[in-house]
A = this chain, B = another copy of it.
Amino acid sequence: MGPLPTDGSQTEEMVDLLFSLAERVRTYAEAVAAEFDLSPSQAAALLRLEKPIPMNELATALTCDRSNVTGIIDRLERRDLVQRQPDSADRRVKRLVLTQAGDRLRSRLHKRLYSDLPNVSGLARELENLGTLLHGTQETDES
């Protein structure tokens, strides 16, 4: 939701940092997805398909309704990135399998996200600040 005006309290500062951090991560991931002409949901779906899974399971992973997955997969299938395969054990189920092109795209996407996110400008410092604030204001139960 982005950074917000602060009244200067310490808790507010921490929440602002959390929002700011989350927004930065989201913005970065969205930009990377866009590089590959993928919407955020499509990218999230692709990343989840390292191994074939039922549509049902993808819906759970994306925390959205099954009916949404139909649309998301429709668009990926139109681009020949994913295939729906029948499940021999349960004929109601369709298993989602990446095509060769889909797998290549997934790899490139994953690499871009995971190699570059830690270097996103300002992120390391925000984490530092959060850590400092956290230690000053509350205990954490590190079992």
Which residues of A approach B to under 8 Å, CB–CB?
1-2, 4-5, 11-12, 14-15, 18-19, 21-22, 25-27, 29, 40, 43-44, 47-48, 50, 61-63, 113-115, 117-118, 123-125, 127-128, 130-131, 134, 137-138, 140-142
Contact = CB atoms under 8 A, between A and B. Distances in A.
B128 A142 contact: yes
Quick one: copies of this chain in the complex?
2
A113 B21 contact: no
A143 to B, nearest CB: 9
B125 A131 contact: no
A121 B12 CA distance: 18
Nearest to A9: B114
A138 B47 CA distance: 26
